[in-house]
Amino acid sequence: MTSLPLVSVIIPCYNAENFVESAVRSIMEQTYSNLEIIVINDCSSDNTGEILKRLAEKDPRIKYIENEQNLKLPKTLNKGIKLSKGEYIARMDADDISFPERLEKQIAFLLSNSEIDLVSTNSQWIDENDDILDYRTTHPKFHCEIQHVLPWKCPLVHPSIIARRSFFIDLEGYKEDILFGEDYELWIRGWLEGKMYHCLPEVLLYYRSHKNQMTGTGFNANNAKSIRSFLYTFLLETKNPKFLFGILLQTKIFHFLITKTYKLRVLLK
């Protein structure tokens, strides 16, 4: 019987004491068991480190890493990739919850589809009390659909992805000077270099929306500026006009119009 490949799950953690145990346990309790779970404490000032150390004592698959200084997300992710040993590398955030069968289903798909480099899933949003919110993603499934929308929106849920190790090695990981949208930039760069994507249509991740998270639904000028910057670079490189639409979407007026349209649709249901 062929042994199952090792999957390295990278979980960067920063001041996540309220949610990190649930997040890590959701990986510990996966139906796919051949894992190394790399948890990296990025200089948290709360009890995140103590919680992670306690979990690491209970499960030998957990490798606890502590940054000497706050490296921010992209550098921490690249550090996790370098420390990992798995043939496959999965992402997980310190405040989300993976469904038990998530990794098993993603690995099964990758083993059966050698042309695909990265697989994501859809997600159901929850709040800080684990209550279900009225939003779940319905991202495009096939690569041909994903590449169609990549220039103007991010169709892959970052904490839900798993990729072949070669994906990260070939692309040399995340751009460390991009502090917001580092995942989106990587997906575009990978697509332009011929990498293939797929999204499993089912929900396999609870994505938590709360006031302390780095990402959110509201408009943030600095975050939007970061995304506009790399989209503009891709526009110049490719001359693909879809990137221009993506740049326009990352402006306050477009965000306002989209938000109002969504709220109107909800009211008219």
CATH at residue 129 = 3.90.550.10
**pLDDT reported for residue 268:** 39
Is 2 within a domain?
no
10 Å CB burial of residue 149 (0-12, 13-18, 19+) is middle
- Domain final position from 196, 212, 228: 212
Residue 49 pLDDT > 50: yes
> Same domain for 189 and 163?
yes
> Same domain for 148 and 249?
no
Report d(CA 211, CA 218) in Å as an integer: 11
Number of neighbours of residue 113 by Cβ within 10 angstroms: 12
> Same domain for 69 and 121?
yes
Give the three-class secondary structure for 226.
helix
User: β-strand 118-126 against 62-66: which pairing, if any?
Assistant: unpaired
Find the helix or strand (DSSP H, E) in which 25 lies: helix 20-28
Report d(CA 69, CA 7) in Å as an integer: 27
> Same domain for 182 and 245?
no
> Same domain for 256 and 207?
no
Report d(CA 182, CA 184) in Å as an integer: 6
Residue 216 pLDDT > 50: no
Closest by Cα among 214, 215, 167 to 195: 167
Give the three-class secondary structure for 207.
strand
| pLDDT classification of 259: cutoffs 50, 70, 90 | low
Encode 159-169: b = buried (16+ Cβ within 10 Å), e = exposed: bbbbbbbebbe
> Same domain for 140 and 111?
yes
Q: What is the mean pLDDT of the chain?
A: 93
**pLDDT reported for residue 220:** 85
Report d(CA 57, CA 55) in Å as an integer: 5
> Same domain for 200 and 247?
no
> Same domain for 17 and 51?
yes
Phi first, then psi, for residue 17 (nearest 5°) are: -60, -30
Structural domains in the chain (count): 2
Is 26 within a domain?
yes
- Look up residue 250 and give its two tokens: 């990352």
Classify the phi-psi angles of 160: left when phi > 0, otherwise alpha if psi is within -120 to 50, otherwise beta. Answer: alpha
> Same domain for 188 and 231?
no
Find the helix or strand (DSSP H, E) in which 109 lies: helix 102-112
Q: What percent of the chain has pLDDT over 90?
A: 86
- Domain final position from 188, 212, 236: 212
Question: Which of 79-93, 105-119, 244-258 is predicted with the least confidence, judged by mean pLDDT?
Answer: 244-258
> Which structural domain range is residue 39 located in?
7-212
Residue in this structure with the two tokens 């001041």, named with its chain if needed: 15
Average pLDDT (244-259) is: 77
Is 1 within a domain?
no
Which spans in 130-249 are helix H? 143-149, 165-171, 182-192, 221-238, 242-249
Between residues 24 and 214, the one the model is more confident about: 24
Is 235 within a domain?
yes
> Same domain for 90 and 208?
yes
Is 113 within a domain?
yes
**pLDDT reported for residue 219:** 61
Residue 265 pLDDT > 50: no
User: β-strand 197-208 against 97-98: which pairing, if any?
Assistant: antiparallel
**pLDDT reported for residue 148:** 97
Report d(CA 77, CA 120) in Å as an integer: 17
> Same domain for 113 and 193?
yes
Question: Which of 112-116, 148-152, 203-207, 256-260 is predicted with the least confidence, judged by mean pLDDT?
Answer: 256-260
